[in-house]
Copies of this chain bind each other. A is one copy, B any other.
């Protein structure tokens, strides 16, 4: 297998943008990535695109806007890990020598999706869903366990949101560039005790794209190719998750796979972008990804280590909570953020001297988690 590098990244505006089509959002990200790589559309040899809702020929729909046609295009879906899946698809194409240059795209228009403004209707065989097991419901139960088992407080949950919103203020592309206090987060509308509105990621429209090529070829385009050290994708077993809802055996497995593939460990990471769909989730992922020991996520948060300027900044982009969460885009958007830091181009939110970063995304069917969960982890290095 050949080493693969990221040579271009791009993002659309993130926000509530129902007036924009998926083709418009996606092609904004693609055009930005092409410009960033300083590469011509005609050099793209393969494309993978991910979209969750109303997905019909997403890659073809987006790429016609920039004149990319007559190549192999694959559309993928893996809930919130859809973007990770698209990135990994292109990575494999290039690593395995099928193509030299390709683009991975993630896009979502949440405001025009069939679930806009609605609770998702459970499928007929989805008993959990019919019993009210929504995403906020599940994360509220998890939060209760964190309070019981790990000594977490509602102030800790609020603090994750405060941190990520503070980070988002430093990101021109964030949906919400507004700081909040712990009190404001706690006093926002109660969604599902103890989860308040400001502990939930918003509905977001947006797209992200990344251009990959073999490291050999990369030197033709850039002096700062960002190497992909590990690409992993794995589906899980919800029954395992049910043993202790504060632990993700899937994430334990896949992060081990990713670190082994990259030849380094969590202690080597300079920054991490991860799935923080609900504020309390972030502390669990610290543990699942090995950034601290099991049960010590609360202490890691309280230490300030995961803030910009801390030992291991987590979600310096603002994360899903502040930057926003266009489902299938997030798996690529997190990679874009890591690339920015590794290139020393992250501006006010730059991680000093960042050499290695990890991008995680993780998803499952909203109601009826029985359907299985899926995760993708990529480790990149300058």
Contact = CB atoms under 8 A, between A and B. Distances in A.
- A-side interface size class: 35 or more
Dominant secondary structure of chain A at its interface with chain B: mixed
Interface string A362-381: 00110000111110000000
A77 B76 CA distance: 6
Given A21-B124, A73-B235, A85-B74, A52 B60 contact: no
17 contacts: A21-B123, A55-B55, A56-B79, A57-B374, A58-B77, A60-B365, A64-B371, A69-B236, A70-B236, A72-B234, A72-B235, A73-B374, A74-B85, A74-B89, A75-B77, A75-B85, A96-B96
A61 interface: yes
Which 8 residue pairs of A and B lie closest in terms of their CB atoms, listed nearest first?
A60-B372, A69-B237, A73-B235, A96-B96, A75-B77, A61-B371, A57-B371, A56-B365
A106 to B, nearest CB: 14
Interface of A: 21, 23, 52, 55-61, 63-64, 69-79, 85, 89, 92, 96, 98, 114, 123-125, 233-238, 250, 253, 364-365, 370-374
**Oligomeric state, in number of copies?**
2
Contacts of A371: 56-57, 60-61, 64
A5 to B, nearest CB: 19
